[in-house]
Structure 1
Amino acid sequence: MNSSASTKERILTAAEALFAQRGFEGASLRQLTAAAGVNLAAVNYHFGSKDNLVEEVFRRRLDQLNARRLAALKQVVGQPDATLEDVLAAFIRPALDLSHDGGGSLFMRVLARAFAEHDDSLRKFLSDNYGHVMRQFTAEFARLLPQLSKEELYWRIDLVTGALTHAMSGFGIIQRKSDVSETTHREQTAAHLIRFSAAGLKDAPGDWA
């Protein structure tokens, strides 16, 4: 890795940690430069603005995550024996892999911040750049769950996504035991989450007030 790339990566890593801890508004460029060991000129050179930096923090993780998700979904779509669990696995497993890969759980806290802080411009960026991935999964869920209305399906997918985000963030009460490997724990998490999500998605439509 050349010096320029190394500096850019260092800034992104420091920004991810600060955004997770302090939020987007709460993390200042002064704090960022101190954490990354760079000057403000380096941040401006690589990113131009704080907004661009925020977007690049998301691109660094989400480009890879969604490429893996779409590749996994491609293996499922069109298969005559494809199940709801197969589609859920394509959605869930790449995300859990990310959460255990070099700061991924920290990034999930950043992602949670994006929605908690009601940043409309950031939400638009995420929708414009990654909304097509969710639409492809939603289409497959709809095909496998024709008994659900569009609104009911969206409710359930939203709750599944929330459960996945919670599992990835490391906030849960189920922590890895010392005698269980990281790989085994991740597999256990995936299996539980897929089973739980499938049950919720398949449940008969309710008459909610």
Structure 2
Amino acid sequence: MAATGHFSTKDRILGAAEELFALHGFTGTSLRQVTSRADVNIAAVNYHFGSKENLVNEVFRRRMDDMSARRLSGLKNALSQHPGELEPILAAFVEPALTLAQDRHGGAAFVRVIARAYAEKNDSLRKFLSDHYGHVLREFARAIADAVPALSKEELYWRLDFLAGALTYAMADFGLIKRPAGVSEAVHRERAARELIRFAAAGFKS
């Protein structure tokens, strides 16, 4: 029973932190605001996370672990079922991210947190993400390099970087193309994924 209590307290803190980081950014959010929104005391935050920096990292880990696992599983399937084809590799990268953005349990808030991470240039967070999830990008880079052997390593990483930026933009739904009336969120996201994959494939092949 105690373990469940710990889990729910930890999860409440993470949920509150994610919402506040989305609204105010990392530097603009105090631990006091987090404890107030999560309805816990500061000792609980210190017990579970130790520091604000670690709390920021864990907000990302909570979302990124699952997304990374889905990406790598999709990549494995793409390579075994569609060897040498670029689009299935790109789909394995793009689709889990757009699914996350659509998650009803705070997906939209997390997308805003990602945007904050770009804007605030948080070096310790960048290092955390590189250390924990850099291998995912390297797996995709390797697979894309095999599918498009004419690309130099430098060209490959430039284009991967542009794909990641375009994907973040699509996740945030900042775009000019709004969801048409009568089209569900899921169908709109599927269309966004399809168009982004085609766009990216053309970019990698050119």
8 A contact 1:66–1:133 mirrored in 2: yes
Q: Quick one: which amino acid aligns to residue 166 of structure 1? A: Y
2: CA distance, partners of 1:41 / 1:14: 16
Deviation for aligned residue 1:79: 4.5
| 1:195 and 2:206 aligned | no
Note if contact 2:82-2:88 (Cα within 8 Å) is conserved in structure 1. Answer: no
* Partner of residue 48, structure 2: 46
2:159 maps to which residue? Answer: 156
Q: Which residue of 2 aligns with 1:85?
A: 87
CA contact (8 A) 1:105 1:170 kept: no
Question: Matched residues in 1 for 2:165 and 2:82: separation?
Answer: 29
1:60 aligns with 2:51: no
Query: 1:165-193 CA distances to partner (integer Å, 9 max, x unpaired)?
Result: 11112222322233111221111111111
1:106–1:169 contact (8 Å) kept in structure 2 = no
Over residues 15-51 of structure 1, what are the superposed CA-to-partner deviations in whole Å (9 max), with x where a residue is unaligned? 1111122111111111111222222122112111111
**Structure 2 residue aligned with 1:28:** 30
Describe the SS at the equivalent of 2:26. Answer: helix
> Gapped runs of 5+ residues in structure 2?
none
| Alpha-carbon distance, 1:81 to partner | 4.3
Which of 69, 72, 75 aligns to 1:70? It is 72
Q: Are the counterparts in 2 of residues 115 and 123 from structure 1 also a CA contact under 8 Å?
A: no
- Does the CA-based 8 Å contact 1:88-1:198 persist in structure 2? yes
Range that drifts further, 176-185 or 1-10: 1-10
Given that 2:13 and 2:38 are in contact with CA atoms closer than 8 Å, whether structure 1 keeps it comes out as yes
Cα distance in structure 2, aligned partners of 1:85 and 1:95: 16
Corresponding position of 1:130: 133
**1:77 aligns to what SS in structure 2?**
helix
Q: Which amino acid aligns with 2:204?
A: L
**Larger deviation, residues 45-54 vs 85-94:** 45-54
After TM superposition, the score normalised by the length of structure 2 is 0.92
CA–CA separation in structure 1 for the residues paired with 2:42 and 2:29: 14
Give me the whole-angstrom Cα distance separating, in 2, the residues matched to 1:152 and 1:164.
18
Please identify runs of 4+ aligned residues in structure 1 that moved more than 6 A.
Answer: none
The one-letter code matched in structure 1 to 2:7 is A
Aligned residues: 203
Distance between the aligned counterparts of 1:51 and 1:110, measured in 2?
14
Gaps of 5+ in 1: 204-209
| Residue range with higher mean Cα deviation, 108-117 or 11-20 | 108-117
**How far apart are 1:109 and its partner, in Å?**
2.1
Deviation at 1:80, TM superposition (A): 5.8
